[in-house]
């Protein structure tokens, strides 16, 4: 029943007005100044610590690729890479990782990939072998290049980003090159074949140190491929 008392009506109107004000304060406003077209505000979950990073999901390919750290000696660079079978099924490899190098603008750098690194250094020429990785097992390889300038008229090449695929036609993943890919003006980068990692061996944080720098052969390997 609606009261006809003027004082009561004023009290009801004041109560309704206050409820509307409070209701407006509890609503979600997007963007600055309550812009409804802006993104929703970020809310922290009371049950999750902001310092806890979520566990990375396994890609659809069933494998995850990452870098294990770089090393340098007398202009020779080595970057370890690791492939982990994070899926539930066995994964087969038989060949070399497929590399793509990009500059700071993420434009591809045209260079020659030397399978086995024969033109860069010795000790990484083992031919590829068919390997099968069970769930959780790892395979490793090493990316090698030289910071070498032999012609001052040719601009030195520096790559900033690196992607690695398990094989030709397979999805590639971006890995951390642990610094610039300073190729000088060699125009080439090498990579060893995939090798199954010892399950008992700890996960490496840096690749094995490459052998002492050797003379760079002038011949071109027939297994070379271009990006």
Domain count of the chain? 1
pLDDT at 152: 82
- What CATH code is carried by the domain that includes residue 136? 2.60.40
pLDDT at 206: 55
45 lies in some domain: no
pLDDT at 99: 96
Secondary structure (H, E, C), the chain:
CCCCCHHHHHHHHHHHHHHHHHHHHCCCCCCHHHCCCCCCCCCCCCCCCCCCCCCCCCCCCCEEEEEEEEEEECCEEEEEEEEEECCCCCEEECCCCEEEEECCCCCECCCEEEECCCCCCCCCCCCCCCEEECCCCEEEEEEEEECCCCCCCCCCEEECEEEEECCCCCCCEEECCCCCEEEECCCEEEECCCEECCCCCCCCCCCCCCCCCCCCCCCCCCCCEEC
17-65: per-residue pLDDT in tens? 443 333 333 333 233 333 333 343 333 344 444 444 445 789 999 999 9
List, run by run, the mean pLDDT of 10-residue segments along the chain (227 residues): 48 42 35 34 39 66 94 86 96 97 95 89 89 96 92 88 96 94 93 90 57 40 37
204 lies in some domain: yes
22 lies in some domain: no
119 lies in some domain: yes
Domain of 75 in residue numbering reads as: 63-209
43 lies in some domain: no
């Amino acid at each position: 029943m609606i009261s006809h008392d003027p004082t009561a009506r004023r009290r009801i109107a004041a109560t309704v007005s206050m409820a509307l004000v409070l209701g407006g304060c509890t609503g979600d406003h997007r963007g600055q100044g309550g812009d409804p077209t802006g993104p929703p505000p970020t809310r922290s979950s009371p049950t999750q610590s902001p310092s806890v990073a979520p566990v990375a999901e396994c890609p659809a390919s069933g494998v995850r690729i990452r870098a294990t750290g770089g090393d340098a000696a007398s202009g020779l660079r080595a970057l370890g890479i690791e492939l982990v079978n994070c899926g539930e099924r066995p994964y087969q490899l038989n060949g070399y990782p497929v590399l793509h190098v990009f500059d700071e603008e993420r434009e591809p750098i045209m260079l020659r990939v030397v399978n086995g690194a024969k033109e860069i250094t010795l000790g990484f020429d083992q031919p590829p072998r068919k390997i099968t990785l069970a769930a959780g097992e790892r395979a490793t390889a090493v990316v090698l290049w030289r910071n070498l300038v032999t012609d001052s008229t040719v601009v030195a090449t520096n790559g900033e980003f690196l992607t690695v695929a398990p094989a030709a036609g397979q999805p590639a993943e971006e890995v951390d090159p642990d610094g610039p890919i300073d190729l000088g003006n060699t125009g080439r980068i090498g990579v060893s074949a995939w090798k199954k990692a010892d399950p008992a061996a700890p996960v490496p944080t840096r690749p094995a140190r490459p052998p002492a720098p050797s003379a760079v052969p002038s011949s071109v390997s027939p297994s070379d491929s271009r990006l």
